[in-house]
Structures are given as C-alpha cells and as structure tokens.
C-alpha cells in the first residue's frame, strides 16, 4: 500500500502558527501563497475531471490516451502532500478564499474525504485507459469525494 500524504493533522496544526492574519482581510504572504497553491491544485482537479466528465457524459468521444493522461494527473494531485495548503486563518475571512472555518474544527473528517478522493483517483487511474465503461464506472466515486468536501467545507459562490 502506498502512504498518502494528505491533509495531515500535524500539517494543519503546525501551520496554525505560520500565518497570522495581519488585518482586515489582508493576509500574511504565507497565507496568500497557501490559498493560491490550493486553488491552483483545485483547478488541476477541475481540468482533469472536465476531460473525464465530458467523456463519461458522451459530450466528447472517448479517447483512451487523453483519459489516461487526465486520470494520471488526477491521481498525482490527489496523492500529493497538501499539508501546506491549509494554514489556520486562510478561511473566508481572507478575500478570495472560500474555505469555510469549519475545516479547521473538523480536520479529521476533511482528511478522510481527502483519503477517499485519493482512493477513488487511483481506481480511476486503473480504469480510465481501459474503455469508456470502466471510466464511467469509476467517475462516480471521484465526483462524490469532490462534492462531499465542497458541500460542507466550501462557501457557495454568491
Ligand atoms: C478536502 C476537501 C476538498 C476536496 C476533496 C476537493 N475540494 Fe475543491 N475545493 C475545496 C475548497 C475548500 C475550495 C475553496 C478553496 C479556496 O477558496 O481557497 C475548493 C475549490 C475548488 C475549485 C475552485 C478553485 C479556484 O479557482 O478558486 C475547483 C475548480 C475545485 N475545488 C474542484 C475540485 C474537484 C474537481 C475535486 C475532486 C476531484 C475537488 N475540488 C476536491 C475543497 C475540496
């Protein structure tokens, strides 16, 4: 078994010290960087899922190589160390952040969802290049992990 370095409790707790908020929604450079990094990471998820999702829905023709590439990207991102992305204070009190403060109260639950995503992404990696049916069979679990986190821990767009 591979060990995934996700949002470790240690990472979240340790980084609580790193970035104090300066004032009025202005963040320290550490916090700004963490927000930028995690949003870029999320965009990477979005891009990979865009490719896979369109194929699953039949909006674009199935292409084994493109599907495999997207699934590889997704799995790589999902298993990457994300412990520096979530310093305490990088929540919705900072302009541009949609990370709800409850993330820091429920870190173990958030981590568990991250683990679910890593597992689902590995299954997708094994399936995506096989055929469209296998891709379709794997996408539900991935999407469920994205949604589970967004529904509870991300501020809805206003
Ligand atoms: C562990 C929780 C979690 C998981 C799992 C997760 N997200 Fe997110 N996502 C967030 C949070 C929190 C934000 C808001 C981050 C911010 O504003 O700083 C976000 C933001 C985003 C954004 C907007 C990024 C931007 O430009 O600001 C996209 C796109 C996104 N997620 C896609 C995905 C996809 C696709 C998946 C699944 C493959 C996924 N996310 C899995 C928590 C999660």
d(CA 15, CA 99): 15
Q: How far is the CA of 129 from the centre of ligand 1 (A)?
A: 25
| Cβ-based neighbours of 133, under 8 Å, separated by 6 or more | none
d(CA 19, CA 61): 46
Q: How far is the CA of 46 from the centre of ligand 1 (A)?
A: 8
Q: Could you tell me the pLDDT band of residue 158, with boundaries at 50, 70 and 90?
A: confident
Q: How far is the CA of 42 from the centre of ligand 1 (A)?
A: 5
**Does the Cβ of 114 fall within 6 Å of ligand 1?**
yes
**Does the Cβ of 98 fall within 6 Å of ligand 1?**
yes
Question: What is the reported pLDDT for 93?
Answer: 95
Question: What is the reported pLDDT for 74?
Answer: 98
Question: Residue 75 above 60 pLDDT?
Answer: yes
71 burial level (CB within 10 Å; 0-12, 13-18, 19+):
buried
**Does the Cβ of 153 fall within 6 Å of ligand 1?**
yes
Contact between residue 94 and residue 137 where contact means Cβ atoms under 8 Å apart: no
Nearest atom (ligand 1) to Cα of 100 = 12
Q: What is the mean pLDDT of residues 16-36?
A: 71
Question: What is the reported pLDDT for 86?
Answer: 96
Contact between residue 52 and residue 135 where contact means Cβ atoms under 8 Å apart: yes
**91-112 pLDDT tens trace:** 999 999 999 999 999 999 999 9
Of 153, 147, 136, 143, which Cα lies nearest the Cα of 121? 143
Question: Residue 27 above 90 pLDDT?
Answer: no
**Does the Cβ of 142 fall within 6 Å of ligand 1?**
yes
d(CA 75, CA 70): 9
**Does the Cβ of 146 fall within 6 Å of ligand 1?**
yes
| 25-29, 89-93, 107-111, 145-149, range with the lowest pLDDT | 25-29
Nearest atom (ligand 1) to Cα of 46 = 35
Average pLDDT, the chain: 88
Return the residue whose CA atom lies nearest to atom 26 of ligand 1. 39
Question: What is the reported pLDDT for 63?
Answer: 98
Question: What is the reported pLDDT for 16?
Answer: 45
């Amino acid at each position: 078994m591979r060990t995934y370095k996700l949002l470790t409790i240690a990472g979240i707790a340790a980084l609580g010290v790193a970035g104090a908020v300066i004032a009025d929604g202005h963040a320290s450079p550490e916090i700004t960087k963490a927000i930028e990094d995690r949003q870029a990471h999320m965009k990477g998820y979005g891009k990979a899922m865009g490719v896979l999702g369109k194929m699953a829905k039949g909006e674009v023709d199935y292409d084994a190589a493109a599907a495999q590439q997207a699934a590889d990207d997704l799995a790589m991102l999902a298993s990457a160390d994300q412990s520096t992305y979530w310093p305490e204070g990088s929540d919705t009190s900072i302009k541009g952040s949609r990370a709800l403060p409850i993330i820091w109260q429920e870190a173990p639950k958030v981590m568990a969802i991250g683990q679910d995503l890593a597992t689902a992404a590995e299954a997708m990696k094994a399936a995506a290049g096989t055929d469209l049916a296998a891709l379709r069979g794997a996408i539900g679990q991935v999407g469920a992990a994205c949604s589970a986190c967004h529904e509870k821990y991300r501020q809805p767009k206003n």
